[in-house]
Structure 1
Amino acid sequence: MSAHPDFQVEVYQNEFLPQGAAEVNAIVTVTSTGSGSASLSSSSAQPAAEVIIIDTSGSMHHPPTKLSAAKRATAAAIDALRDGVNFAVVAGTDIAELVYPPKLGMRGASMISREEAKRAVNALRADGGTAMGEWLLLAKELFATQSNPLRHAILLTDGQNVHERPKKLERILANVNGQFVCDCRGVGTDWEVKELRKIADTLLGSVDIVAEPEGLEADFRAMTTAAMGKEVADVALRVWTPQGATVKFVKQVEPSLQDLTERRVDSVPRSGDYPTGSWGSESRDYHVCIQVAPANVGDKMLAARVSLVASGGEVLGNGKVLAVWTDDTALSTKINPEVAHYTGQAELAQVIEEGLEAQRAGQIETATAKLGRAVAIAHESGHEDTAKLLAKVVDVEDAARGTVRLKRDVSTVDAMTLESRSQVTKRVGRKSGEGES
């Protein structure tokens, strides 16, 4: 087994509230300093399992480079697996078929099994429809044959889920929720961002566009390598609140936006657990908002205790969210920079989505206003990546003011890239020693 990673929890907030205020906001930064099991020998690394799901519907043959690129990408992912990691490959059409191994189950990665799997993948042909829920159900069955705690899947598609009703996919997502983490990729421009985002969000994974098939190989290799670096599975953010206080929301806000509020599972008394998936050496930020009973000047309280908890109940780290009521307006009106920054990042994602929807609906005035606001937020927060993507959709006249004009001809690739990456956030700049744990 790998050495247990060290976790640190830091809380960034302005604990001072004016008299009568009833809402406490804090950014909780969790940092895991792991031992980097991706570079360890298979005997010392945490047991892991990987399922690679490739869309082999008929559209993957148009053009043929899509399927051939998907095959090369799958081969790259197989090569990136650590020796001994159990893996399987699934081909997805309107049904799910096990490509490797030949029977339900998984095989440990070795020189022999890798070559066998790559030969089986190379023989795939494109034909049939698309029913992603079926693919996920087979992945769940495959993971169920293993006791490995770290379970990761990659799902690649080039189209929409046309052979499955949305309600059926929702039922299947509820069924597989919590069973594994799944990163989703769309190749080309005929798939739907919202559809893949729903899958990725439910399964605590990422979603992205790979506009050109040639980009798949590097992307699959990177995703698999990242999965091999995970060391602790099924970690939860536990939020305890005192009598009279409740959790308004819990959201991951960095490296991407993910609302965990509805995912709460009540645990020990007055506490709820919010799933965060698997961890390696990394850092993430969470926005925690607590509703408290209004109090008088001079009153103080522990508004919440935030802990990181392993699946066995071990506490990996914790921090405190405080509330102090004051009549000093200089203290109570000061907005914490971390809270302000991530509130802006959430608005940025929202106005991009609303702006693109308005643009698709031909609502030019609304689209211009929303995307102009997005440009202003991206400029203010220094989110250069998003600013560059926005500049492919609008002509920017004044970034600071958000004055823009919609481009006459926007490529589908540029619009989908902006939409699929709109939830990716930029961390706020910090000076050392600003946090408190």
Structure 2
Amino acid sequence: MANFAKPTGPQFSVDVYQNEFLPEGGRDVNAIVTVTATGAATGSGAGSGPADAVGDAVPGGAAVVLMLDCSGSMDYPATKMRGAREATAAAIDTLRDGTAFAVIAGTHVAREVYPGAGRLAVADARTRAQAKDALRALSAGGGTAIGTWLRLADRLLAASDASIRHGILLTDGRNEHEAPEELRAALDSCAGRFTCDARGVGTDWEVDEVRGIARALLGTADIVADPAGLAADFTTMMEGAMGKAVADVVLRLWTPVGVEIGFVKQVAPSVEDLSGRRVVAGPRAGDYPTGSWGDESRDYHVSVRVPEAAIGQEMLAARVSLIAPGPAGGDPVALSQGLVRAVWTDDLVVSTAINAQVAHYTGQAELADVIQQGLDARKSGDEDGATAKLGRAVQLAAASGNADTAKLLSKVVDVVDAATGTVRLKAKVAEADEMTLETRSTKTVRVKK
């Protein structure tokens, strides 16, 4: 058995919601695992204490690299480049004293804007002012090769001993100046080394590219259609980064002999399938990355298949644990755990009941899927298919109380009857509205308690 250090800092709790009862011959067990972290705001957090000179950040704090698209298209319209500079300045103002940081200008190459020479600055009044002065000299010109931006950010962050390593990336266009496999290789290289929030400004970028960056690097993805909204969005992202207190947390799933894993998905605050990211962590155990945590709560859907058993028998179907790296490379820290059970019964009433949390998030996952399928059908000219899928999306959004998604859907379809999913495709849809729906389609609402 592995040795675990004593937890310090934020406190984690794990709650399991399921119907553990199975009918005779039943094998599929589903559970919603709610993980909650509290106390991050009063812990060591993302940078505290006095700032040093440019070079050495407060040990154990945070390091952040901002990657700003400076390609030629950022000047069309000019409000994009101006908004990007203002947003980056706002993010720099949000940095806590003692946080290591750098700014990168991204085109078909990556260039250090501040502080330069392969270093990170340490946030204080002087370095913030210097960084904002450097931003004023930025202008648009060149192409787009996002992989080079990420690799430079990785090199800069690797020079820091900060426990929280984070990137913020802004682009306004497609990744046209490197092959898709080059971006994928960069993401594979950076995965697990830092987290990254990705944003697309305007409507000339690819949703799959921006969302793919965020998924690979365990961050968030969103659209800022109007450059005027960049400063507020960057401030919110940086506040989120500054609120993180524990990095590189994994969800460890242990299963007994004979139990097969169906899938492991994050289902709130957004749907992200983690199944393919499993890393073996000992006999019958695997780790799924969850990134960095502050004061927050997330939900995960765990599905396993157990061996058949006789009526009256029960078994542990899975054990879910939260594991964080140990201090100074020491033993890993066990933060909390929960148990998933299976009990066989001949009571059809209890064995056929569907747990409310499981039902809710199954619907939210379907909602994300049918939105994507409906938009794909619409783009391909399949109006009947698009109407059916987006109608089902309207029905699911209404039933689950997902008002934000329902509002986005109403900009793409005319809703005749939300309860039955009866809709008509709008003849004209603004590109920004369609991209916003696609980008935010995986966002979910928590189950009503």
Tell me if both proteins adopt one fold, taking TM over 0.5 as the criterion. yes
Find the aligned partners of 1:69 and 1:207 in 2 and give their Cα distance. 18
Partner of 1:233: 247
Instruction: Name the stretch that deviates more: 421-430 or 16-25.
Output: 16-25
The DSSP-based 3-state class of the residue aligned with 1:387 is helix
1:344: Cα distance to partner? 0.5
The yes-or-no answer on 1:299 pairing with 2:313 is yes
1:374: Cα distance to partner? 0.1
| 2:9–2:43 Cα contact (<8 Å) kept | no
The yes-or-no answer on 1:182 pairing with 2:196 is yes
Partner of 1:270: 284
What is the aligned counterpart of 1:309 among 323, 339, 349?
Answer: 323
Find the aligned partners of 1:311 and 1:258 in 2 and give their Cα distance. 23
The DSSP-based 3-state class of the residue aligned with 2:74 is helix
What is the aligned counterpart of 2:18 among 13, 23, 28?
Answer: 13
Partner of 1:199: 213
- Matched length: 429
What is the aligned counterpart of 1:42 among 37, 45, 48?
Answer: 48
1:3: Cα distance to partner? 6.5
Amino acid at match of 2:307: A
Find the aligned partners of 2:274 and 2:343 in 1 and give their Cα distance. 27
Find the aligned partners of 1:133 and 1:415 in 2 and give their Cα distance. 26
The yes-or-no answer on 1:387 pairing with 2:406 is yes
Find the aligned partners of 2:141 and 2:277 in 1 and give their Cα distance. 37
Partner of 1:405: 424
1:43: Cα distance to partner? 2.5
Map 1:99-118 → 2, pairs under 5 A: 99-118=113-132
| 1:351–1:371 Cα contact (<8 Å) kept | yes
1:122: Cα distance to partner? 1.2
Find the aligned partners of 2:395 and 2:178 in 1 and give their Cα distance. 40
The yes-or-no answer on 1:33 pairing with 2:33 is no
1:167: Cα distance to partner? 1.3
1:101: Cα distance to partner? 0.9
Find the aligned partners of 2:117 and 2:41 in 1 and give their Cα distance. 32
Q: Provide the identity percentage.
A: 59
Find the aligned partners of 2:275 and 2:98 in 1 and give their Cα distance. 36
| 2:210–2:221 Cα contact (<8 Å) kept | yes
Amino acid at match of 2:32: I
| 2:255–2:317 Cα contact (<8 Å) kept | yes
1:407: Cα distance to partner? 0.4
The yes-or-no answer on 1:131 pairing with 2:145 is yes
Amino acid at match of 1:370: K
The DSSP-based 3-state class of the residue aligned with 2:438 is helix
Partner of 1:253: 267
Say if 1:5 and 1:38 are closer, same or farther in 2 by CA, change over 3 A: closer
The DSSP-based 3-state class of the residue aligned with 2:416 is strand
| 1:266–1:273 Cα contact (<8 Å) kept | yes
Partner of 2:329: none
Amino acid at match of 2:19: N
What is the aligned counterpart of 2:101 among 82, 87, 90?
Answer: 87
1:292: Cα distance to partner? 1.3
What is the aligned counterpart of 1:420 among 439, 442, 445?
Answer: 439
Partner of 1:350: 369
Amino acid at match of 1:204: L
Partner of 1:222: 236
Partner of 1:121: 135
Partner of 1:23: 28
Amino acid at match of 1:125: S
| Runs of 4+ off more than 3 Å | 37-41
Instruction: Name the stretch that deviates more: 77-86 or 242-251.
Output: 242-251
Partner of 1:364: 383
Find the aligned partners of 1:71 and 1:415 in 2 and give their Cα distance. 27
Cα offsets for 1:286-310 (capped at 9, x unmatched) = 0011121121211100000101011
| 2:247–2:291 Cα contact (<8 Å) kept | yes
The yes-or-no answer on 1:429 pairing with 2:434 is no
Q: TM-score, normalised by structure 1?
A: 0.96
Find the aligned partners of 2:8 and 2:320 in 1 and give their Cα distance. 24
The DSSP-based 3-state class of the residue aligned with 2:160 is coil
Find the aligned partners of 2:40 and 2:182 in 1 and give their Cα distance. 41
1:37: Cα distance to partner? 5.1
Amino acid at match of 2:274: L
Find the aligned partners of 2:286 and 2:44 in 1 and give their Cα distance. 35
In structure 2, the gaps of 5 or more residues are 1-6, 51-57, 327-331
Cα offsets for 1:30-49 (capped at 9, x unmatched) = 00012415997813995000
The DSSP-based 3-state class of the residue aligned with 1:224 is helix
Find the aligned partners of 1:246 and 1:203 in 2 and give their Cα distance. 27
Find the aligned partners of 1:388 and 1:39 in 2 and give their Cα distance. 39
Cα offsets for 1:178-208 (capped at 9, x unmatched) = 1111000000000011111111001001110
Find the aligned partners of 1:14 and 1:206 in 2 and give their Cα distance. 31
Amino acid at match of 1:400: A
Cα offsets for 1:156-177 (capped at 9, x unmatched) = 0000111111111111111111
The DSSP-based 3-state class of the residue aligned with 2:388 is helix
1:326: Cα distance to partner? 1.1
In structure 1, the gaps of 5 or more residues are 431-437
Find the aligned partners of 2:236 and 2:265 in 1 and give their Cα distance. 26
1:269: Cα distance to partner? 2.2
Find the aligned partners of 2:30 and 2:166 in 1 and give their Cα distance. 32
The yes-or-no answer on 1:78 pairing with 2:129 is no
